Structure 1
Amino acid sequence: MSSESTIPWGLIAVPAFILALPRLLAVLPQKIQFVTKCGVVLIATFIMSIVGCFISIVFALLNRRHEINFVVARIFSFIASYPCGVTFKVSGEEHLEKYPAIVVCNHQSSMDMMILGRVFPKHCVVMAKKELQYFPFLGIFMTLSNAIFIDRKNHKKAIESTTQAVTNMKKHNSGIWIFPEGTRSRLETAYLLPFKKGAFHLAIQSQQPIMPIVAAGYSNIYDSASRSFPGGELEIRVLEPIPTTGMTVDDVNDLMERTRAVMLKSLKEMDHSVSSASNSTGSSTAVAEGTIDEGLKQRRTAKE
């Protein structure tokens, strides 16, 4: 067969394979499907780390560095979620245009990267732990896209990084994406870990609003404990921004608790298992949540 005749077939076969990939992966046994789909996400992350470097260089030359994350995030979300059969139902997306702001989102697992990719706003950067700066390709991409790296082991440097972040926000009219829980919750219930104060100090220091984003619990879509990754629809809510104009450092705790309360309310509303059982098990649920909350407070106190 001549090379001329193989080119058209290649142009047809590759897109056809990509379109059929979700169905092909869906028929695999559960454990094999889990490993394969996790591999797809890792490959997508690696590809976008490399592609992101090139996009970052081009956008930096065009003086549009604060759009790098938005473009790369949307591409990543598609190439990672589509093969895995993950779709999104997003409400309140119009709030993403209300800028600048400190964006806070609940943090469940490593799969939150798909969520971040789907709703990451324009003119926004990521605040991440310093260790990510040294990951091959990913660290280069994040540096070029103005990511803010926090050294959690050095309080003085962490303060300097956040102060510089406020300066950059005002200079570029940009926002910052932060996971206020500080680590992956991995909770099986519709709940949130205690919030760290950093995001709220930033919001008050910059006098910019808090923009809460809540992703529903997705253990039915991805569950590392049971090695299950069937995919499905994931609901995300972008909530009304919470203004901080006129607030001072004395208002940090109130702002943090207010934000956590509205996020937790939405999280529970999206959890149908909680809402359906609330009438029959209201008292026991309250006791259980109190126990969880006390345990989390002890965990936070120990860390601090």
Structure 2
Amino acid sequence: MGMSVVGCFISIICAMLGKRSLSTYLTLRLFSRLAATPCGLKFNVKGEERLKNSPAIVVCNHQSNVDMIPIGRVFPANCAVMGKKELLYVPFLNLFDRQNHQSAIQTTAQTIFEMKKTNSGLWIFPEGTRSHSTKPGLLPFKKGAFHLAIQAQYPILPIVVEPYSHIYSSKKQHFPGGEIEIRVLEPIPTEGLTLKDVNGLMEHTRSIMLKNLHEMAGVAPPLPPLPEPPKIEASTEEIRPRL
């Protein structure tokens, strides 16, 4: 309800001033300010200057409903949000449906055209859903954000929000407040990449984000699996002692 009221007010003002494209940015920024104080949240943002770079496909980890507060703190201007269809009840946020696969295919070209026309970017949660995890980690990424970035030739801008299960637990309904670190990482260029590079771009982005999540949580990243020992085939020949 709070988000809706804030969004309604800001959207009306932006429409009157001919700045409708800024409504999402202003809504989330103001909502973050209004919600952070009563929730006892403070933010330590690193790399904020990178938000001023050219429009990008922004990818961010997704933990819980509380994400909207830290996300609002770093949401870039002239950026839309890709969300689920059920999120569309929140008015005046620029969302488009990623649940309808056929619709997504049909509108990809139009989406890229509009982004370039308005010089705007897109915020996507590549995990596809909230993780609700108490341990630092990422769910497997969906390919959509990386397809879109390559087709638009937009850079990927990874943003990592510190794991905050110690501050908020959706399962325990525990919310003592505290400080959350947010890292705006180096943009990852896509110039010259083709759709054959989608998997590589996706895995590279995920590995960088996962590394930062582990650093922020103060834990060592999991070790890669040990290689299997070489198999020694038994010889069928009789082993004879040397004379």
| TM-score, with length taken from structure 1 | 0.71
Q: Does 1:100 align with 2:55?
A: yes
Shift of 1:141: 1.5
Partners of 1:209 and 1:73 in 2: CA distance: 23
Opposite residue 150 of structure 1, the aligned amino acid is D
Residues 287 and 151 of structure 1, relative CA distance in 2, 3 Å threshold: closer
Equivalent in the alignment of 2:65: 110
Q: Does 1:182 align with 2:128?
A: yes
Equivalent in the alignment of 1:196: 142
Q: Does 1:249 align with 2:186?
A: no
Deviations 1:70-114 (A, max 9, x none): 211111001111101010000000000012100000001111111
Shift of 1:59: 1.2
Opposite residue 86 of structure 1, the aligned amino acid is L
Q: Does 1:267 align with 2:213?
A: yes
Equivalent in the alignment of 1:58: 13
Partners of 1:159 and 1:148 in 2: CA distance: 16
Equivalent in the alignment of 1:141: 92
Residues 287 and 257 of structure 1, relative CA distance in 2, 3 Å threshold: closer
Across the aligned residues of Structure 1 and Structure 2, the Cα RMSD in angstroms comes to: 1.6
Q: Relative to total residues, which structure has the larger helix share, 1 or 2?
A: 1
Shift of 1:265: 0.6
Opposite residue 99 of structure 1, the aligned amino acid is S
The structure having more radius of gyration, on CA atoms, is 2
Equivalent in the alignment of 1:131: 86
Is residue 60–residue 161 contact of structure 2 (8 Å, CA) maintained in 1?
Answer: yes
Question: Share of identical aligned residues, percent?
Answer: 57
Shift of 1:58: 2.4
Opposite residue 49 of structure 1, the aligned amino acid is S
Opposite residue 116 of structure 2, the aligned amino acid is K
Shift >6 Å, 4+ stretches: none
Partners of 1:141 and 1:68 in 2: CA distance: 7
Deviations 1:27-78 (A, max 9, x none): xxxxxxxxxxxxxxxxxxx133123123213212322122111211111001
Opposite residue 122 of structure 1, the aligned amino acid is A
Opposite residue 44 of structure 2, the aligned amino acid is K
Partners of 2:109 and 2:86 in 1: CA distance: 20
Residues 173 and 85 of structure 1, relative CA distance in 2, 3 Å threshold: same
Partners of 1:104 and 1:157 in 2: CA distance: 21
Deviations 1:214-259 (A, max 9, x none): 0111011111222211000000000000000111111111110110
What are the equivalent positions in structure 2 for 1:1-304 lying under 5 Å apart? 46-133=1-88, 135=89, 138=90, 140-142=91-93, 147-152=94-99, 154-272=100-218, 274-275=219-220, 285-286=222-223
Partners of 2:62 and 2:26 in 1: CA distance: 22
Give aligned pairs, total. Answer: 225
Opposite residue 164 of structure 1, the aligned amino acid is Q
Shift of 1:116: 1.2
Is residue 141–residue 202 contact of structure 2 (8 Å, CA) maintained in 1?
Answer: yes
Aligned to 1:180, the other structure's residue is in SS state coil
Opposite residue 174 of structure 2, the aligned amino acid is S
Partners of 1:195 and 1:253 in 2: CA distance: 10
Shift of 1:186: 1.5
Aligned to 1:224, the other structure's residue is in SS state coil
Aligned to 1:286, the other structure's residue is in SS state coil
Shift of 1:162: 2.9
| TM-score, with length taken from structure 2 | 0.88
Residues 287 and 188 of structure 1, relative CA distance in 2, 3 Å threshold: farther
Opposite residue 132 of structure 1, the aligned amino acid is L
